[in-house]
Chains A and B, each alone.
Chain A
Amino acid sequence: MNIHEYQGKMLLRAAGVPVLEGVHCTTVDQALNAYDNLGSKVVAVKSQIHAGGRGKGTVMNPSSRATVMEGGVKIAFSKEEVNTYATNILGNLLVTIQTGDEGKIVSNLYIEAGCDIAHEYYLALLVDRDNKSVLIMASTEGGMDIEEVAEHTPELIHKVVVDGNVGLLGFQKRDLGMALGLKGGALKSFGKLLSSMYTMFCAEDCAMVEINPLVRTGADEMVALDAKISFDENAEFRHKNWDDLRDLSEEEDTEIRAKETGLSYVKLDGNIGCLVNGAGLAMATMDVIKLYGGEPANFLDVGGGADEEQVKTAFSIILEDPNVKGILVNIFGGIMRCDIIARGVIAATEALSLQVPLVVRLAGTNVDEGKAILAASTLNIHPADDLAEGAQKIVALIGGEE
């Protein structure tokens, strides 16, 4: 789960990480008031969307897609400029390298005081799968795309792995700061910032905290100029405050509803809907559809213990996508029994009066009963014995409609 920069900065400030004064706005008037209240001659007007590359993005009119302005983060030197930028951004589409062509409508702005920058750095905390621990990455190349830095000048990225048994140690903070060339007050400020940030990372169950840029001011203080924070959704049960931080407009509506019913759904661009049990098998089903010339419309994992009702919900979610021209059900019954799935499939196709071709592949526990139930039904269900056959059948069945 991602949150906006302004929300991330609230968390950072509360944790004791130095950030600049800023105000979250949703209207131009609020932005103008914010300018007056901040008392800073120079302010940054920042679009708030869950995607990077905002500064280099393009603001467009959502209907005509005409360019309104280059850049979704602007430095304003006067109230008039705040007015212009806020008007240009709010309600319009921001297209960045990370949003894809469709872009995102900007409904939130962050007006932030200016600051005297001596140097820009990069800093990130994340869970490192290789070391099975928290990894801290820092670079002197702040403000740049870190993937580019990693590719071309990996020696400029410095790393510290936190030992899960003991936590972040003093020498690790010093080593990392010195690797960045920090001295004196800046080194001290960096160490303090790192402690606060690591504590927050753990307390808030973050998956990643990325500060790009982290800046050293003229007064040798380290300040987080940006904040990209994502949470580990597995830890949602112990963070009641996440409900307030969640911006549902940033999430796919069907994906949210799927999650509420215990299904895992991701929408894709193809036309063959998939209903599968297990994440790995669901991915493999998509892959095999593609292998035999089709395009999957979605990833959908009904989980290990789905019942008739969940199967029905899964079908209705798949069918909400108007691109879907056919559905492939692929179930390897373990704990889940094939006869239950077969009944669920029949109930769902009847209730939703399914019009598109349906191929069902069942294997595992009670497979014979499941197949018998499907065979006895008068519905137009095409059986398949294995995944390859199922994929080939559904691709052939929708072939004429391409």
Chain B
Amino acid sequence: MAIWIEEDAKVLVQGITGKQGMFHADKMVEYGTNIVGGCTPGKGGQTVDLQGKPFPVWDSMTAAITETDADATVIYVPPPFAGEAIMEAADAFDSVKGEGVIVCITEGIPTLDMVKAVAYVNNRPGVRLIGPNCPGIITPGETGGAKIGIMPGHIHAKGRIGIVSKSGTLTYEAVAQTMSIDEGQSTCIGIGGDPVNGTGFIECLAAFQNDPQTEAIIMIGEIGGNAEQEAAAWAATNVTKPIVGFVAGATAPPGKRMGHAGAIISGGKGTAEEKFEAFREAGIACAMDPSELGKVLLESLKTAGLR
């Protein structure tokens, strides 16, 4: 078990004929992800070579899902078209099989496009959106596994730590920290750094809590909004597994967007200090330095009798 994405999940790639889509599709096949083809409107019927093997391309997501019974799709479509790509995938999953996972990697989608896309996805209860502006989701296997996104596959190993983070490279940092204490990961999810996104911290925490493979959780937030505070409050009463947390941006000045569109302290709200405080109140063990996540996790595992 893992969350949402099993090791052998069947995955489509939207934008598979583009430079980014093709590059990462190749990397995913190399890792062992069960890629079943892709979708680029106007290029249906063509094939794309990944790791020396041909993969089919469809014109529409409905056709692609009908043909392949895909479980998930990953979107590498440029920002002007990404909102619609999400909605096309949501509609196709909903109408063909009533469920599916959409992972949107694209960075720079207009916020109001995401408002529309999220409302559209939320109208289709079987469909889950992860991202946008995120590294994706990975469920490492004994050999290979399902890597859906842009994360470097080779740093991961199958294990019992669930990781959820707003940031890409900080997720990799957290993965490396688990490996430094000989722990692997159940599933790692980047929920993305945009102000309006799909799956949030709470849904990830709930899924990790219910997943028998996951025994402890790392949660990494950043400045802006109050998703971390809400997640911490929720975890205090609903999560029994140990959680280790970090929040990036303690030194960020107010009113300045720190790379991610959502990473901004506005009106004095959404500071790292506020979030760390909420974490501590909820009994989450905090690392003040991401290079200490491993150490803090090890202590938490020991306290919980898991090491």
A interface residues (Cβ-Cβ under 8 A, vs B): 98, 127, 129-130, 132-134, 147, 163-165, 202, 205, 207, 232-235, 237-238, 264, 266, 268, 276-284, 286-291, 296, 299, 301, 304, 332-335, 363-365, 386-389, 391
Contact = CB atoms under 8 A, between A and B. Distances in A.
Interface of B: 24, 79-80, 108-116, 118-120, 123, 135, 150-152, 154-155, 165-173, 176, 193, 195-197, 220, 222-227, 230, 246, 248-253, 255-263, 267-268, 272, 288-292
Contact of B170 (A130, A281, A335, A391): A281
Contacts, number: 181
Contact of B120 (A165, A207, A386): A165
Q: Determine which residue in A276, A283, A364 has the highest number of CB atoms from chain B within 10 A of its CB, and name it.
A: A283
Contact of A334 (B80, B172, B226): B172
Contacts of B288: 287, 291
Contacts of B253: 266, 268
Contact of A205 (B112, B195, B223, B225): B112
Given A282-B258, A283-B252, A284-B290, A237 B79 contact: yes
Contacts of B227: 129
Contacts of A389: 291
* Closest 7 pairs between A and B when the two form their complex, measured CB to CB: A280-B167, A279-B259, A278-B169, A164-B119, A235-B110, A280-B170, A283-B248
B290 to A, nearest CB: 5
18 contacts: A129-B226, A129-B227, A129-B262, A130-B230, A132-B119, A133-B115, A147-B267, A205-B112, A235-B110, A264-B259, A266-B256, A277-B169, A280-B260, A280-B263, A284-B246, A288-B291, A335-B150, A364-B172
B170 A129 contact: no
A346 to B, nearest CB: 22
A388 B226 CA distance: 27
A68 to B, nearest CB: 26
Contacts of B262: 129
A234 B80 CA distance: 9
A279 B150 contact: no
A172 to B, nearest CB: 16
Contacts of B110: 205, 232, 234-235, 238
Contacts of A134: 112, 115
Nearest to B221: A280
Contacts of A278: 167-170, 259
Contact of B268 (A147, A296, A299, A387): A147
B252 A165 contact: no
Contacts of A282: 258-259
A222 B176 CA distance: 58
A148 B220 CA distance: 31
A365 to B, nearest CB: 5
Contacts of A276: 169
A132 B115 contact: yes
B251 A287 contact: yes
A202 B172 CA distance: 36
Nearest to A263: B259
B173 A332 contact: yes
Contact of B155 (A291, A364, A386): A364
A335 B123 CA distance: 34
Contacts of A290: 250-251
Contacts of B246: 284
A382 to B, nearest CB: 17
Contacts of B167: 278-281, 283-284
Contacts of A283: 167, 222-223, 248-249, 251-252, 258-259, 263
Contact of A279 (B195, B220, B260): B260
A146 to B, nearest CB: 8
